Amino acid sequence: MEDSLQEALSSSEGPLANEVIEKIYCLSGQAFCKSWRIELKGNKKLFAKSVPIEGFTRLKCEAEGLQSLRKFADREFLKIPNPICIERFGTNSYLLLPWLNLDGNNQKNLGKGLALLHKSSLNNNSQGFGWGKDSFIGAGPQPGGWKDTWGECFVELRLKPQLKIAQKWGIDLTELGSLLSAITSCLDNHNPCPSLVHGDLWSGNAGVENDGKGILIDPATWWADREVDIAMTKLFGGFKKEFYAEYECIWPLPKSSKSRVEIYNLYHVLNHANLFGGSYKQEVFSSLNNLKKYFSKIY
Q: At what angle do helices 279-298 and 261-276 cross, to 10 degrees?
A: 150
The C-alpha atoms of residue 198 and residue 291 are separated, in whole angstroms, by 25
Distances (CA, A) of 23 to 39, 41, 85: 5, 9, 19
HSE-up (13 A, CA, CB side) for residue 32: 11
Q: Please, are residues 280 and 166 in contact by the beta-carbon 8 Å criterion? A: no
HSE-up (13 A, CA, CB side) for residue 209: 18
Map residue 244 onto helix, strand or coil. Answer: helix
The helix (H) or strand (E) run that includes residue 195 is strand 195-197
Q: Please, are residues 20 and 40 in contact by the beta-carbon 8 Å criterion? A: yes
Indicate if 218 belongs to the active site: no
> Which of 148, 200, 211, 229 is labelled catalytic?
200
Q: Where are the alpha helices (DSSP H) in 107-176?
A: 108-121, 150-153, 160-166
Residue 8 phi/psi, 5° resolution? Answer: -65, -40
Residue type, 111: G
C-alpha radius of gyration, the chain, whole number? 20
**Catalytic residue set:** 200
